[in-house]
Structure 1
């Protein structure tokens, strides 16, 4: 991988503090579970408004009838959308990986498939839990 300067301290400063992440050691995460709590959860919390906006934009562009269905059906539709649409999945992964430090990205590359699976599970749960907000955002022009 080519050397490129990354503002690692600035990237860390952006992230909100999460109670479970505060209990972990300050050095680089040793396991995928540590990485999940120390890196993925804080970044997802930071990127939550952008995640909802990206999914809502996708729903709007693809004419998914999210506003007209019951809340449980909204959650089901959003889950299917995030599970089946490769373009949306890669966009969600990019929202998070773009905020990794150099060391975190190196760890991510070593555990890419497991971390992508967990990242998409967390993202899907987040979007489904906020289905009403996604529906409202998708109905705006």
Structure 2
């Protein structure tokens, strides 16, 4: 999805690293992902205790899920980033990884610190909604 589908909101603070809103045009279909988790090939959480490494693996898995549906990170119109921590530094670390992977596409996103995530030792999870042309879905 082209960055032009991100909505400019001039009445809100312009210094945030994400768009305040996004609106896919007519003829686009939405792709909803489950929360991408930092699981390795054996189904175990990789890099226990390492927020940055888990965030990187989560983004790899999110890209894989999006590709399977005919989408890519540039098609994301909304994401939610969950970090199992009360330390803002951990949230910032995860956000830096997610934001860098999004490149020039600052889709609207919410960053949350939560008490616990679903897998033992899991610190990061990211879910997304993407928009693709109607015929792009498999």
Q: TM-score range by the shorter chain?
A: 0.3 to 0.5
Q: What is the TM-score normalised by the length of structure 2?
A: 0.33
Larger helix proportion of the pair: 1
**Larger CA Rg, structure 1 vs 2:** 1
Q: What is the TM-score normalised by the length of structure 1?
A: 0.32
